[in-house]
Amino acid sequence: MTTATIQRFQELKTPFYYYDLELLRETLRVAVREAGRHGFHLHYAVKANANPRLLAVIREHGVGADCVSGNEVAAALENGFPAAGIVYAGVGKSDEEIRLALERGISCFNCESFPELEVINDIAVSLDKIARVALRVNPGVDAHTHHYITTGIEENKFGFPLRDLERAIRYCQGLSNVEWSGLHFHVGSQITDPTVFRDLCARANEVQRHLVGHGLLATRINFGGGLGVDYERPDASPIPGFADYFEAFATGFEALPGQQVHFEPGRSIVAQCGSLISRVLYVKKGTDKEFVILDAGMNDLLRPALYQAYHRIENLTSTSPDREAYDVVGPVCESADCFGKAVNLPVTRRGDLVAIRSCGAYGEVMASRYNLRPLAPSHFSSGE
Ligand SMILES: *Cc1c(COP(=O)(O)O)cnc(C)c1O
């Protein structure tokens, strides 16, 4: 962050989210270009960050939206995403949400169970609409990531198990107002091991061969999101490796002629453009440790408490040449309200400004008013 930006922060009430819209635009340019090389379609996963200013920038780049609630569908539409580019996933869609999505004419439902298919068909009949659906498959691929963000292995609530897939497709074909259009895979998030994507392609190829053998042709295959970002070094690698990521699918997945391939990146688009900016309230000496107590808490950024996630923490204003190890914590009455343990920082004092980096994804959207704390506002890079 530039001196001028930090200067500007001095005048703002903390904590707040700061978004670098230039970095967001550059990230989108790269993602769209690299997907475009292979003719792949992108839908931004709105759940990663639904800030209207960010949604407007993302929509300008011509990507669609991947939504996981009726309100996300409504937010995508309000912010100018065309209905024809909206896909809607989730294990527990309510009747009201399904009705909204059908009335607004979204492109596709990603469906996860037999009873859901039945309900979608009933509602489509009542509205005299056809619901296009992709079936979410649980492909049995381990994403090797935190167990809370792994979704593609057996024994979790997501998707159809492979053994039910063919029956589910036949079931769709028997429904009057449902049109089966394809398969949806999403195996987890913050995936940094490229072999996971290779395994996913191999499994998708197997599934596809099996279905083709039974005369079932999917018109679209959706590989979901999941590409990880570098939380350790946000400045060294601000833009995730989209080229290698899409290349892995272009070479690994055997698309059928005319088959559309879709992706739903969330974190990889928005994580690095956001920081949570906070002020140091107190520096407290314990017996063996020193604590830096911030005015931002787990209600502003839940990831460290929820997933033991690492975020880089920087003191933006200390000029001390000496360094210390601090536990950096928030003011919320929970031991889990800790952003980092033994964080090496320049000697820190009350009033210093601190940046918690890579907060653009799953930061502001997960904010709560726990302890009746106010929701933190957002500010944007200079000139905007
Ligand atoms: C969360 C989610 C995504 C986005 O995942 P990222 O890891 O943020 O890219 C995409 N698709 C579905 C169905 C999801 O649930």
C-beta of residue 299 within 8 angstroms of C-beta of residue 367: yes
Q: H-helix or E-strand containing 342?
A: strand 338-346
- Percent of the chain, pLDDT > 70? 96
pLDDT confidence of 372, banded at 50, 70, 90? Answer: very high
- Domain ranges for the chain, please list them: 3-15+272-380, 21-269
Mutate to test the pocket of ligand 1, among 43, 58, 66 (most ligand atoms within 8 A of CB): 66
What is the residue-averaged pLDDT of the chain?
Answer: 95
The structural architecture, per CATH, of the domain 3-15+272-380 is: Beta Barrel (2.40)
Please give the pLDDT value at position 144: 66
Decide if pLDDT at 359 tops 60: yes
Spell out a b/e string for 22-57, using b for 16 or more CB atoms within 10 Å of the CB, else e: ebbbebbebbeebbeeeebbbbbbbbbbbbebbbeb
pLDDT confidence of 157, banded at 50, 70, 90? Answer: confident
pLDDT in tens, 2-49: 899 999 999 999 999 999 999 999 999 999 999 999 999 999 999 999
Alpha-carbon distance values, 33 to 86, 204, 272 (Å): 20, 24, 19
| Ligand 1 midpoint to CA 55 (Å) | 16
Mutate to test the pocket of ligand 1, among 47, 86, 138 (most ligand atoms within 8 A of CB): 47
Give the total residue count for the chain: 384
pLDDT in tens, 105-152: 999 999 999 999 999 999 999 999 999 999 999 888 877 666 655 565
Q: Which CATH number fits domain 21-269: 3.90.1170.50, 3.40.50.300, 3.20.20.10, 1.10.760.10?
A: 3.20.20.10
Atom of ligand 1 nearest to the CA of 361: 8
pLDDT in tens, 195-244: 999 999 999 999 999 999 999 999 999 999 999 999 999 999 999 999 99
| Ligand 1 midpoint to CA 327 (Å) | 31
Please give the pLDDT value at position 159: 86
pLDDT confidence of 158, banded at 50, 70, 90? Answer: confident
